[in-house]
A and B are shown apart, each in its own frame.
Chain A
Amino acid sequence: MKKSVEYLTGLLLLLLLLAGCKVEPKPIAYGAANCAHCSMTVADNRYGAELVNDKGKAYFFDSAECLAAYINEQPEQGQKAAFLLVTDYARPGQLVDARAAYFLQSEALPSPMGMNLTALADAATAGKMQQEHGGQVLDWDQVLLAVRNDEKLQ
């Protein structure tokens, strides 16, 4: 009897520990978190980005271009990442998968680090905003390439 209680408590503790290191996105503390790439304070909740690695540690970025630059510098971090997230411009503060997002690069919409990248969750909104502001719509791989080559606009 005593043994099984010990066993159960042990199991519970183990479960708790596992729950403690669950790999999941963490909310960005705007105004308090620093960008892992450029050291700036993450302040604009229309542009924040996040990388969660395979161990559940979250890195915060002030813009999609900083996240891209970080991954370009350390490709293994990008491959190991459990989550690559950017903020949906249409819904400030809402994080979406970077690899599935649409990026409008338009000079009419300056982003924090000068690459004029605005992330949007769905194609329809991206198309509508492109008509309104001009520019081009990129996917995540094209963003990585544009940041590597420092192409503000093609």
Chain B
Amino acid sequence: MRNFSNYNLLLTCTLALLLWAPVASGSTLKVCKTCVFTSVKQAVQKAGAGDTVLVNGGIYKESKIEIKKPLTLIGQNNPVIDGNFTGQLITVLADHVTIQGFTLQNVATSYTRDDAAIRVMGRNNIRIRGNTILKTYYGIYMQNSEKVEIKDNVVVGENADKTESSLGNAIHLYYTDEVNITGNNVQGHRDGIYLEVVKNSQVHRNTSHKNMRYGLHFMFSDGNTYTYNTFRNNGAGVAVMYTRNVRMEHNTFEDNWGAASYGLLLKEINNSHIYNNVFRRNTTAIHMESSSQLDIRNNDFARNGWAIKLMTTCIEDTFRLNNFTGNSFDVSTNGKSQYNHFENNYWEKYTGYDLDRDNTGDVPYRPVSLYAMLVEQVPPAVMLMRSFMVDLMDNMEKVLPSIIPEQLVDERPLMKRIDHDNDRKLVQVLR
């Protein structure tokens, strides 16, 4: 009896395996100079659903490769697919497709077609891993898709001349949900990573630099998270616009310099978190317009032109436990009314005292200086920075506030710089 049940179990397992097997492991088609297939396109056309196409090293001069069934495309020894400026390289028109380990290059700029190295249209369960994409218009372009993984890719565009706008985005997502973008290095495009109407997605540990417009750009994309990314030397670091429920944590925004440049641009953002970020050497670290109910906490603002430009259209935003060091202006605004809350921040420019030894200053600190208000109204007045008259004016205003917003005040400024270094070290290890 017992034997019989064992036998039964074995039979069930074998049957299950037999049923499962065709889906899990199809046949493998090899592509190389001396193989049956010498072109990727041929192999992709001949392959059946669930097959693997294994491409060996070498240069394949091909474009317009269309994947119409579930396939795994794997490159070994770094094969190069060179489009020779003849059109889009790989178009994915099936679910469950993996593209891994290729170098894809030379896609022409077209003003009427948004050609990309890899384009996915209306599909799900797509994985794009470890590819290098060079000299393309758009790099990876996803539209109307879901459940996508874009991991460890390098996308490099050419923007030697920054005024030339014949550049698409490195990673472009349009109406695509549940995307995981991790560990990519993108540069030299219009936007590094662009999300338009994207939901429930993560952007982790990417480096986005030297892009003409934004390192990362959100439009109408609710409920997303971006953490541990570095945005360096872009037109502006990150722009988050017309969106709600965004988590922004542990990112570094640095060296985003220029007349129209921001570390982080917030326009019509609601209910979002900005925690543990570093803003270093940006023209304006955060520029905020029409944004409400933001929690801005534990960030470092160091050596920026303006740390925060808080327009009067912003309401119910909270700034807590942030460090403000070495900024030319800590906070600037464009009007008298203020409905935001500042508490327990460290302000390097604070000159108050702490007689009761509770580590918070006994006199409130007003981070907006009269001169900051003046520069907001009359930008050329910036040439008077650090002059005697400006210092005199600012000090008078401190004693008798008249022009600076009355409510914009930190009632309990901290006496000591907050040590966020424990977090920082963790970041280093994780990188």
Task: Give the B-binding residues of A (Cβ under 8 A).
Answer: 29-34, 38-41, 43-46, 89, 92, 110, 113-114
Contacts and interface: CB of A to CB of B under 8 A. Distances in A.
B312 to A, nearest CB: 15
B311 to A, nearest CB: 10
B362 interface: no
Interface stretch (B28-36, B99-107, B211-219, B274-282): B211-219
26 contacts: A29-B163, A31-B163, A31-B212, A31-B235, A32-B162, A32-B163, A32-B259, A32-B260, A33-B260, A34-B260, A39-B265, A39-B287, A40-B239, A40-B267, A41-B212, A41-B213, A41-B236, A41-B260, A43-B190, A44-B190, A45-B165, A46-B111, A89-B111, A110-B196, A114-B219, A114-B220
A114 B259 CA distance: 26
A80 B214 CA distance: 33
Contacts of B289: 39
A32 B213 CA distance: 9
Interface string B201-239: 000000000001110000110000000000000011001
A38 B165 contact: no
Contacts of B162: 31-32
B241 interface: yes
B242 to A, nearest CB: 8
A139 to B, nearest CB: 22
B213 A110 contact: no
Interface in B138-172: 162-163, 165-166
A39 B163 contact: no
Nearest to A46: B111
A66 B284 CA distance: 23
B174 interface: yes
What are the 9 closest A-B residue pairs judged by CB atoms, nearest first? A30-B165, A43-B213, A45-B165, A34-B260, A41-B213, A92-B111, A31-B212, A31-B162, A41-B235
B219 to A, nearest CB: 7
Given A31-B213, A38-B241, A41-B214, A114 B163 contact: no
Contacts of A34: 260
Contacts of A113: 219
Nearest to A39: B267
A46 B166 CA distance: 10
Nearest to B143: A110
A73 B73 CA distance: 51
Interface in B29-64: none
Contacts of B258: 32
Nearest to B114: A110
A113 B268 CA distance: 14
Contacts of B239: 40
A29 B258 CA distance: 14
Contacts of B111: 46, 89, 92
Contacts of A92: 111
A145 to B, nearest CB: 21
Nearest to B190: A43
Contacts of A110: 174, 196
Contacts of A31: 162-163, 165, 212-213, 235
Nearest to A112: B219
Contacts of B163: 29-32
Interface in B355-405: none
A123 to B, nearest CB: 18
A147 B174 CA distance: 21
A50 to B, nearest CB: 15
Interface string B75-113: 000000000000000000000000000000000000110
B153 to A, nearest CB: 22
Contacts of A32: 162-163, 258-260
Contacts of A45: 165-166
A43 B165 contact: yes
A113 B212 CA distance: 18
Contacts of B190: 43-44
A44 B196 contact: no
Given A31-B165, A32-B259, A46-B111, 17 more contacts: A29-B163, A33-B260, A34-B260, A38-B241, A38-B267, A39-B287, A40-B241, A40-B265, A40-B267, A41-B213, A41-B236, A43-B190, A43-B235, A44-B165, A92-B111, A110-B196, A114-B219
A110 B141 CA distance: 13
Contacts of A46: 111
Contacts of B174: 110
Most buried by B among A31, A32, A38, A43: A31
Contacts of B241: 38, 40
B395 to A, nearest CB: 33
Nearest to B175: A110
Contacts of A40: 213, 239, 241, 265, 267
Contacts of B287: 39
A41 B215 CA distance: 12
B186 to A, nearest CB: 16
A101 to B, nearest CB: 17
A57 to B, nearest CB: 15
Best-buried of B165, B166, B289 by chain A (most CB within 10 Å): B165
Contacts of A114: 196-197, 219-220
